[in-house]
Amino acid sequence: MNLGQRQSVQGDSGVVGNRKGGVGRGLVAAALLVLLTGCAGKAVQQERHPDDPWEGFNRQVFAFNEVVDRYALKPVARGYHAVTPQPVQTGVGNFFANLGELRTLLNSLLQGKPGNAGIAASRFAINTTVGIAGLWDVATHMEVTGREEDFGQTLGVWGLDEGPYLVLPFLGPSTVRDTAGLPADIYAYPLTYVEDDEVRYALLALRVVDDRARLLDQEELIRGDRYSFIRDAYLQQRRFEVSDGQLEEDPFATDDFDFDDADFAD
C-alpha cells in the first residue's frame, strides 16, 4: 500500500468517524425531543378542563360544525335576518317558543314543580288562542312567565350527574346527560307529530334558521378561544337552569366567623 492509498484510507476513516458522531448526536437530540414532548404532553393533560376529558374529539367535531355553519347555516341566517322584517322574526320565534311550552309543562310535572307546570299550561293556552297560534306572546305582556324545562334538566333534578362535556355533530354543545335527554325532548315537541313530511321538515328548517339568526349579534361577545368560550358558557348556563338559578352555598358569604387573638398572632 503506497502513501497515497494510506492517506485515502485515513481520510475515509475520518469521514466515517464524523458520520458516527453526527448519528450519535442525532440520536441524543431525538431522545431529548421525545422526552420533552412527553413532558409537555403530560403538562397539557394536567391543564385539561376537568369537565372536558374528550376535548380532542370535541374540538374535531366543533371544527366540523364550524365549517358547516360558516358555509351553509350562517349565510342563510344572515339572509333571513336581512330580508325578514323584525315583527315577522319575532312572530316566528314566538310560534316555536309556544310549542315548547308543552315540553316545559311535562318536565315541570316530572320535576315536581306544579306551579311552573301551571304557568306553562296557562302560557300555551293564552298564546295559542289570544296570541293566534303563538305568533304573539300575550302571556308575557300579562306577566305570566315561568322557567323553561327540558329532559336534560329533569335528569339533573333527579340526581343524574351531567357527565363529560360533549360536542354533537350539527347540534353543537351538550353533555352526556343532556344527550340522553334528547330523544325525550324530540318526542315531547309537537312538530314531531306533523304527518306531512314536507311541512314538518320545512318548519324544522325554519326553526333552525331562526334560532341561528338570533345568535348573530351574540357572537360579538365571544373572546379568546372560541371553543373554550362556548364550552364554559354552555356549562354555566345549564347548571344555572338545572338549579333554577340557585347558587351553591358559599362558606364565606356569612358574617359568623369565630376568631381569637391567636389567629392574628405573628
Q: What is the pLDDT of residue 261?
A: 57
- Do residues 92 and 202 lie in contact, with contact meaning Cβ atoms separated by under 8 Å? no
Q: How far apart are the first and last CA of the chain?
A: 88
Q: What is the pLDDT of residue 244?
A: 87
Grid cell 358555509 in the structure block, residue: 71
Q: What is the pLDDT of residue 223?
A: 86
Q: Is 221 exposed, middle or buried (0-12, 13-18, 19+ CB in 10 A)?
A: exposed
Q: What is the pLDDT of residue 266?
A: 52
Compute how many other C-beta atoms are within 10 angstroms of the C-beta atom of residue 195. Answer: 6
pLDDT tens-place values along the chain, 266 residues long: 444 444 444 444 444 344 344 444 443 443 333 333 344 444 444 478 999 999 999 999 999 999 999 999 999 999 999 999 999 999 999 999 999 999 999 999 999 999 999 999 999 999 999 999 999 999 999 999 999 999 999 999 999 999 999 999 999 999 999 999 999 999 999 999 999 999 999 999 999 999 999 999 888 889 899 999 999 999 999 999 999 887 555 444 444 545 555 555 55
| Angstrom distance (rounded) from CA 74 to CA 127 | 30
Q: What is the pLDDT of residue 76?
A: 98
Compute how many other C-beta atoms are within 10 angstroms of the C-beta atom of residue 216. Answer: 13
- Looking at residue 51, its amino acid is D
Q: Provide the pairing of β-strand 172-175 with 165-168.
A: antiparallel
Is this model's pTM higher than 0.85 or not? no
Q: Which three cell numbers stand for residue 152?
A: 336534560
